[in-house]
């Protein structure tokens, strides 16, 4: 019909909105993206997307360095 716009619903892809967090945009070298994609391909279904894979890698790295508590540490101490 003339004069009507089709309104599309919001995509359901990605993490659910929780109203928390800081968005950080980054650029990566092609070889880093290829390695990230290879890691994602090795994960069981449902495979994480690139943003979630980067979040998981960063969190694991920070836990390994002692900047975040281990996930299974109930008292939040390493």
For the stretch 15-43, pLDDT in tens is 666 778 899 999 999 999 999 999 999 99
Mean pLDDT, rounded, for 42-60: 96
Q: Please name which of 48, 50, 47 lies closest in space to residue 27, comparing C-alpha atoms.
A: 50
Q: State the residue for tokens 């979630």.
A: 52
Q: What is the pTM of this model?
A: 0.66
Domain parsing of the chain, residue ranges: 32-65
Q: State the residue for tokens 């359901």.
A: 12
Helix (H, G, I), strand (E, B) or coil at 26: coil
**Would you put residue 44 in left (φ > 0), alpha (ψ -120 to 50) or beta?**
beta
pLDDT at residue 78, as a whole number: 47
């Amino acid at each position: 019909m003339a004069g009507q716009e089709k309104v599309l619903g919001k995509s359901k892809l990605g993490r659910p909105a929780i109203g928390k967090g800081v968005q950080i945009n980054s650029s990566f070298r092609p070889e880093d993206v290829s390695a990230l994609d290879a890691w994602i391909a090795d994960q069981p279904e449902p495979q994480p997307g690139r943003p979630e894979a980067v979040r998981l890698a960063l969190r694991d790295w920070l836990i390994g360095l002692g900047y975040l508590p281990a996930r299974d540490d109930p008292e939040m101490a390493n």
